[in-house]
């Protein structure tokens, strides 16, 4: 059976390491915040100017001056710090954030990512997505393997306008986990298959080319 949203987030949480500074996108990536392994310290960055995101506030304790990049009310933590958007993206662009987990519309086998616009539809803007994928050291994308019509979203080449070229290190879908050699020539490698999903099913549903990792068959 393919992974559900929580299972995909849990798999993404497996990429966290003790001491990491991490930026989480909206949607499934946000769920990762609640899945930090016991005993591990991970500091969450909000690109609108906060290091150290706390849990959502209790009813009656909302602070309009304290929101995350998705405009939700949040809290801070002991050890948090606030800074300007320029300083925040200095952190991001300068490679100080270890990991970003983001949603995607399309990923290509060489690590291109499209997740900000669909031609002809209302354009919302890329916000901080282009900066995150260009600057954060390691990019993990979490998305459904196929779109609503059943077409593969993991492609040989993206068809939508790109968010970044050669930026994705790992793709986690409901069907499996792929590693992508975005700086080299080795392309994509299937590392894990969701329990109960067959390699044949992944092959049938994937337009991208990929190699098989050790133990995957």
Q: What three-state secondary structure class fits 213?
A: coil
**Residue 64 or 150 with smaller CB distance to other proteins:** 64
128 binding other proteins? (CB under 8 A):
yes
Restricting to residues 144-163, name those near other proteins by CB under 8 A. Answer: 161-163
Does 25 participate in binding other proteins (rule CB under 8 A)?
Answer: no
Q: Does 135 bind other proteins (CB under 8 A)?
A: yes
Among residues 92, 174, 173, the alpha carbon closest in space to that of 129 is found at 92
CB 160 within 8 A of CB 106: yes
CA 127 vs. chain centroid, Å, equals 15
Task: Check residue 77 and report its DSSP letter.
Answer: E
Q: Is 216 exposed, middle or buried (0-12, 13-18, 19+ CB in 10 A)?
A: middle
Q: By CB under 8 A, how many residues form the interface with other proteins? A: 72
Q: Torsion angle, CA of 27/28/31/35, rounded to 10 degrees?
A: -160
CB nearer to other proteins: give 131 or 179. 131
Does 125 bind other proteins (CB under 8 A)? Our answer is yes
Say which of 47, 61, 106, 201 is annotated catalytic.
47
Q: Output 75 or 189, the one with its CB closest to other proteins.
A: 75
Q: Which of residues 34-53 bind other proteins (CB under 8 A)?
A: 40-41, 43, 45-52
Angle at 67 between CA 126 and CA 135, to 5 degrees: 40
Contacting residue, 35, 36, 130, 216, with other proteins by CB under 8 A: 130
| Binding residue (CB under 8 A) for other proteins from 103, 127, 213, 216 | 127
| CA-based max dimension of the chain | 54
What residues numbered 72-91 form the site for other proteins, per CB under 8 A?
72-74, 76, 78-91
Q: Does 63 bind other proteins (CB under 8 A)?
A: yes
Q: Sort strands 21-24 and 99-103 into parallel, antiparallel or unpaired.
A: parallel
Residue 169 touches other proteins, criterion: CB under 8 A: no
Give catalytic status of residue 47 as yes or no: yes
Q: Which residues are catalytic?
A: 47
């Amino acid at each position: 059976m393919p992974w559900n949203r929580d299972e995909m987030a849990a798999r993404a949480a497996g990429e966290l390491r003790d001491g990491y500074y991490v930026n989480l996108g909206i949607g499934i990536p946000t769920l990762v915040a609640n899945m930090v392994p016991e005993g591990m310290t991970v500091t969450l960055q909000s690109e609108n100017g906060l290091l150290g995101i706390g849990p959502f506030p209790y009813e009656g304790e909302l602070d309009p001056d304290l929101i995350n990049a998705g405009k939700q009310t949040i809290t801070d933590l002991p050890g948090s710090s606030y800074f300007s958007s320029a300083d925040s993206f200095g952190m991001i662009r300068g490679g100080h954030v270890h990991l970003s987990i983001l949603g995607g519309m399309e990923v290509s086998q060489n690590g291109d990512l499209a997740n900000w616009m669909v031609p002809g539809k209302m354009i919302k803007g890329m916000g901080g997505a282009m900066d995150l994928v260009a600057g954060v050291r390691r990019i993990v994308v979490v998305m459904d393997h196929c779109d609503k019509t059943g077409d593969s979203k993991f492609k040989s080449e993206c068809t939508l306008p790109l968010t970044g070229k050669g930026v994705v290190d790992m793709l986690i879908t409901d069907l499996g986990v792929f590693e992508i050699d975005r700086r080299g020539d080795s392309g994509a490698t299937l590392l894990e298959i969701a329990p109960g999903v067959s390699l044949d099913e992944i092959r049938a549903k994937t337009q991208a080319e990929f190699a098989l990792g050790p133990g995957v068959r």
